[in-house]
Structures are given as C-alpha cells and as structure tokens.
C-alpha cells in the first residue's frame, strides 16, 4: 500500500457508516465501506464491502448503539487483514458557536463539544460518545472532527441572524446550517463545471436546501438545529412559533416531550401516521390519503425553499438533487420541479425516471442534475489535509 490509510466515521440517529480510504497528495481512493443499520433495535444489520462491491461481511445482529456498531465494524476490518488507520475522521453535525472549522480533536475540543450539547441534543452527546469509543479502539491514532456547520460560515448576517434581540445572537442563537459536508462533496464533484448560482437539494431522512453563490453558502433551510427547514422523515421543519407555545401549554410545559414530538414523531411520519420512509409512503399512496398528503407536503416545502433561494441568488444556473430521496425518487423530484418552470426548470421525464445524471430537458434554462453525496470521501479529504499540515 503506497498511500496513507484513513478511517472515516459517519454516524446517524439509527445507523453508522464507515469507510477505509487510501490517501495520497493526488487522490483519495476508497478501499472498504461498512454500514450498521437498525441500531437500537433487534433488527440490526452489519455489513462490509470492498470498493469493487465484494461482500466481505453481512450479518443480521442486534446493535446496541453507535459505539457498539463501531466496535463490531472495527473488529471486522481487523479480521479482513486491512491496514491500520493512520488517522480517524469523524462527521460532527454541530459544534456550536465555538467549533466551526474542521480540526484535530483534543481534550479541549471535546470539552467544547460537550458544552455545545444543548444546540443539538440528538446528535452531539452521541458524537462525543463515539469519539471516545474510537479513541479506545484506536489508541494513539490522531482523530479529526469535520463539522457539517463549517461550510455555512459564509452565510451573511442577514441570512444567519434570527429576528430576535441581539443578546440571543451574541449567545450563539443563529442559523448554522447543516449537510455542509454533502455540499462540499457536490462542489468537489462539479470542479470547474461549478455554476455561479447553484442550489443543492439534499433530500433524505434529514433534508435541507442550500443556496450557493460562487462556491459559498449564502442561505440554507436548516437553522439553529437540524430540526428546522423543510419537512423531513420524523422532523417537523419550520413551524409558526405560536404552534410551539400552544403545544407547550396544552402539554403542561414539558420541554422533553416537545423535543421528542418535533424530532421523532413529526415530519412524514407525523403527517402520514404510517411511516417516515418515502418508499413505504409511495407503496401506500394509492389507497392511503395520509401517505399521499405526506409526499405532497414534502415536495411542496422543498419547492418553496428552492423558489425562495432562486430569488436570493438572483436566478438559478444549476439545481442538484442528492441524498437518498434526491438520488433515487423520480416522483418526488418531479413533484418538486412542477411549478418551478417560471425559474427556467424543466425536467426530461424519461431521464428523470431512469435516474440519469442530467435530468433537465433540452428546453430547460437551468441545468438539473442528480449527483451522489460523498460525505465520507469529503471527510477523508479534510482528514488527510489536516494530518499532513
């Protein structure tokens, strides 16, 4: 092996992705990818695949938490005789106001992360626990934090600030934005073909829309936390603040219950009363009005955000769909683009159904593309840069 082996860890609420990469100054090459799904349930599954698609390990098993998932995957990497990582890179959703640059993890950085837990209670404590487990599993190996919020440091104050008294701005209550690593990976893929006015629609269980002008984030739908913005799988997205006050009063001011409602029981799941999974909603839609309504509301919320950001950008050159839904759901893409013709967006129906990379019609004034989100690859790039700097 001629390059530097890097391990990348990307944790979700009920899943964990892992990648082993080989890095040189000229390229980052994937070697192995691993996943653990169904974490916290008795229907978990752990798998490991080589870069050429060979299945190295694939077993159903109960996985207690993300740390347990990492330990299982690390053991499988070792059993396959793969090279030991020279560095470990972590995706961190939120670092609060103090941590907004990709950096090496030190005791001080861990302290600052723990202090930022109230900004993203769903994500930060789990991320800290996972870092500590990685430090136990890979003693002495330098570890690096790559923040989803880092890409959005370029937001102008008019976009980042909430209409609240200045005290809250000074205390760190602002729009941070998320899915930044996904946006960075899209820009890397585009390279010199990057358009000056770009909107990235990252659509999955978590979903956000980001407006990018000349490579810089200028507005985005998610705000202080990943709960805000457009409708998501179980997260509500933006709400009239009066709705929150109403819910608190009606439920005896139980903040923990409100948090659970907004993050785990709303969105597609809350609307449909059936599922957070868009695939299951499509299957049920023909005979289930709730499933149809959830799909329609999801597309409508994304459409409204794209239209608003086209105005912020002063026009639109390129619209990119990415994420699980964005890459694989032609019906949702069509639903979002329907009505955006006034901004020059027109889909080629056959290309969209086939999931081709370019899905805009010949008459479309806006390029419309499907590009994969390569968050793990982007983390590997940052980790290698920080390791050799």
- Alpha carbon distance 372, 324 (integer Å): 9
Closest CA to 267 of 286, 245, 295: 295
Alpha helices in 161-229 (DSSP H): 166-170, 180-190
Region of 120 (left: φ > 0; alpha: ψ -120 to 50; beta: rest) is beta
Closest CA to 298 of 235, 212, 351: 235
Q: Which two tokens stand for residue 327?
A: 């890459």
Q: Which of 148, 219, 263, 329 is catalytic?
A: 148
Cα 369 to chain centroid, rounded:
18
**Catalytic site includes residue 148:** yes
The C-alpha torsion from 13 through 16 and 17 to 23, rounded to 10°, is: 100
Asked if 190 and 159 touch (Cβ cutoff 8 Å), the reply is no
Asked if 149 and 176 touch (Cβ cutoff 8 Å), the reply is yes
Which residues are annotated as catalytic? 148
């Amino acid at each position: 092996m001629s390059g530097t082996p890097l391990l990348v860890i990307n944790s979700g609420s009920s899943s964990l992705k892992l990648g082993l990469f080989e890095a040189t100054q000229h390229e980052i090459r994937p070697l192995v990818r691993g996943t653990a799904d169904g974490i916290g349930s008795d229907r978990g599954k752990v798998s490991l695949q080589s870069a050429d698609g060979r299945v190295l390990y694939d077993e159903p098993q109960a996985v207690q938490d993300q740390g347990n998932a990492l330990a299982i995957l690390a053991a499988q990497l070792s059993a396959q005789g793969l090279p030991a990582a020279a560095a470990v890179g972590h995706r961190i959703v939120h670092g609060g106001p103090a941590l907004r640059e990709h950096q090496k993890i030190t005791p001080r950085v861990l302290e600052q992360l723990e202090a930022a837990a109230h900004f993203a209670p769903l994500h930060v404590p789990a991320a800290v626990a996972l870092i500590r487990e990685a430090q136990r599993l890979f003693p002495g190996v330098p570890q690096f934090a790559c923040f989803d919020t880092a890409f959005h440091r370029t937001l102008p104050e008019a976009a980042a600030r909430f209409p609240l008294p200045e005290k809250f701005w000074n205390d760190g209550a602002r729009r941070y934005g998320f899915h930044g690593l996904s946006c960075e990976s899209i820009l890397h893929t585009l390279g010199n073909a990057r358009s000056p006015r770009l909107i990235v629609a990252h659509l999955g269980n978590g979903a956000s829309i980001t407006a990018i002008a000349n490579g810089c984030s200028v507005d985005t739908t998610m705000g202080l936390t990943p709960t805000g913005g457009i409708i998501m799988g179980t997260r509500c997205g933006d709400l009239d603040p009066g709705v929150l006050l109403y819910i608190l009063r009606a439920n005896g001011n139980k903040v923990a219950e409100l948090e659970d409602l907004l993050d785990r029981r709303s969105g597609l799941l809350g609307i449909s009363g059936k599922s957070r999974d868009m695939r299951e909603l499509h299957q049920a839609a023909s005979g289930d009005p709730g499933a149809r309504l959830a799909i329609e509301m999801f597309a409508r919320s994304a459409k409204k955000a794209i239209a608003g950001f086209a105005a912020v950008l002063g026009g639109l050159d390129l619209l990119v769909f990415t994420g699980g839904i964005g890459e694989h759901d032609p019906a949702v893409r069509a639903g979002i683009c329907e009505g955006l013709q006034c901004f020059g967006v027109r889909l080629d129906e056959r290309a969209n159904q086939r999931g081709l990379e370019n899905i805009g019609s010949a008459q479309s004034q806006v390029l419309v593309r499907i590009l994969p989100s390569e968050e793990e690859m982007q983390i590997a790039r940052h980790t290698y840069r920080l390791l050799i700097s």
